[in-house]
Amino acid sequence: MTAIALTDLWIYLALTGALWWLFVWRKKRSESRNLSLQKEAIAAGLTEPASLHPVINTNRCLGCGSCINACPEQGGHHVLGLINGKSTLIEPTHCIGHGACAVACPQEAITLVFGTETRGVDIPKVKPNFESNVPGLFIAGELGGMGLIRNAIRQGCAAMESIRKVDGIGRGDQLDVLIVGAGPAGFAATLSAKSHKLRSMTIEQDTLGGTVAKFPRGKLVMTAPVEIPLLGKVNFKETTKEKLMEFWLAAEKRTGVKINYQERVEKISKNAQGFEVKTNNASYQTRTVLLSLGRRGTPRTLDVQGENQPKVVYQLIDPQQYRGQKVLVVGGGDSALEAATSIAAEPGTTVAISYRSEAFSRAKPKNLELVKEAGAAGRLQILLKSQIKEITADKVRLEFEGKELELENDAVIICAGGILPTGFLKESGVLVETKYGTP
């Protein structure tokens, strides 16, 4: 071998070695970051996925990263990552059930499940056609475990296709279908019912959009191209809550569908013709019912005097609306901390946060740090070990560290979670399964 050939060989080996060293270094650095993020999530108690999520068989996983690249949430969060050469859930609470990871895995190493071994998730039992164990009562969308907008829209349309085939549709003087909820699944079902000329009615206890309408201002909502009845193919890929709501409101007006807002279902009773559905406003006779409710359910209240005043709300929508006001936020989770710090950043606000425990033990480190900074800067009054006793028109009375404390107040935001509609489902005869890490 000539000297030139030997030189070329050494150069080749040196370059190959350098590239391999760079690859290994980057891989180790990435895995170190993933391990650190996972430890932070565990320390903050953020280990329970809210919905459908992956369980990874490490014996089958190749560590190829296909699932990581496929996850639509990876741009803003680290849902999945490699640790010790295997794919792992890094930040489980950011997983919202896309399911793209399971589709992308070449080894079929991922199973999509609800709940975990320690935390059960109540899921109504439904057939592949979205009909529950109660004949004629269908369930689609977030209530059935599908919180993803695209999937919820598709389920609403698919459920309506099943409802069209039910015996008795189009006959008699009753409704063909009563749709409960006007979120993504319910609104899509409403459009589908109109396109098929079904005699339908849609009721919504709040506003168009359901849970989506309650997202914070500016929140990115992941969607994907989807076919919607009367509207055709919608090409949203990633958009804000405001733009999506603007689109839906325009679609409601353009298509002429009628939705009864501020109407809440109270009881569903089976009869020979179908169902009688009683609401806070009326009673309806219908052949079928489609439940497209959200899983957040009814906001959990504090049951204190004065809580029914208009100034009391249960979720932050826009921090700017509280400029120049005296605000009390109640709760110890991420939603409460995010509400308190975002309002405290608005000009002229006076903000306090009340929590019954002695520490915010289940919040993200970033939110804890923001609360600490806002408290140190005097923008936020932190009232741990406190409880509201009474809310008046211009004040709030609390018990704080065994003493009574009175605060001047213009608005109260209670972030205490919601009461799931499990009881309502069981009263309606629907079987509810508690999933502990099962499909």
336 sits in the region (left: phi over 0; alpha: psi -120 to 50; else beta) called: alpha
DSSP string, 140-196: -GGGGT---HHHHHHHHHHHHHHHHTSTTTT-SSSEEEEEE--SHHHHHHHHHHHHT
**What are the helix and strand counts (H, E) for the chain?**
9, 27
- In terms of DSSP H, where are the helices of 280-353? 334-344
> Are the C-beta atoms of 146 and 155 separated by less than 8 Å?
yes
What is the distance between the alpha carbons of residues 255 and 160, in angstroms, rounded to a whole number? 17
* pLDDT bucket at 4, cuts 50 / 70 / 90: low
User: b/e for 406-421, b at 16 or more Cβ within 10 A?
Assistant: ebebbbbbbbbeeebb
* pLDDT bucket at 297, cuts 50 / 70 / 90: low
Q: pTM (2 decimals)?
A: 0.72
Is CATH 3.30.930.10 the classification given to domain 3-113?
no
> What's the helix, strand, coil split of the chain in %, to 5?
35, 30, 40
* pLDDT bucket at 296, cuts 50 / 70 / 90: low
What is the distance between the alpha carbons of residues 350 and 366, in angstroms, rounded to a whole number? 22
Task: Find the Cα–Cα–Cα–Cα dihedral 371, 417, 397, 364, rounded to 10°.
Answer: -10
> Are the C-beta atoms of 381 and 260 separated by less than 8 Å?
no
Q: Which part of the chain is CATH 3.50.50.60?
A: 121-297+421-435, 312-417
Give the domain 312-417 fold: FAD/NAD(P)-binding domain (3.50.50)
Which H or E run includes 31?
A: helix 3-43
CA 265 distance to own-chain centroid: 22
Task: Determine the average pLDDT of the residues in 68-95.
Answer: 85
Per-residue pLDDT of 401-431, as tens digits, reads 889 999 999 999 999 877 768 888 888 999 9
Structure tokens at 57: 């068989």
Asked if pLDDT for residue 400 goes beyond 90, the answer is yes
What is the distance between the alpha carbons of residues 174 and 169, in angstroms, rounded to a whole number? 9
Per-residue pLDDT of 188-230, as tens digits, reads 999 999 999 999 999 998 888 877 776 666 666 666 678 889 9
Residue type, 228: I
Give the domain 121-297+421-435 fold: FAD/NAD(P)-binding domain (3.50.50)
Strands 275-279 and 283-291, sheet pairing = antiparallel
SS3 130: coil
What is the distance between the alpha carbons of residues 214 and 299, in angstroms, rounded to a whole number? 12
What is the distance between the alpha carbons of residues 294 and 52, in angstroms, rounded to a whole number? 15
Per-residue pLDDT of 28-41, as tens digits, reads 888 888 888 888 87
Structure tokens at 220: 């990115």
Q: Which part of the chain is CATH 3.30.70.20?
A: 3-113
What is the chain's mean pLDDT, rounded?
Answer: 87
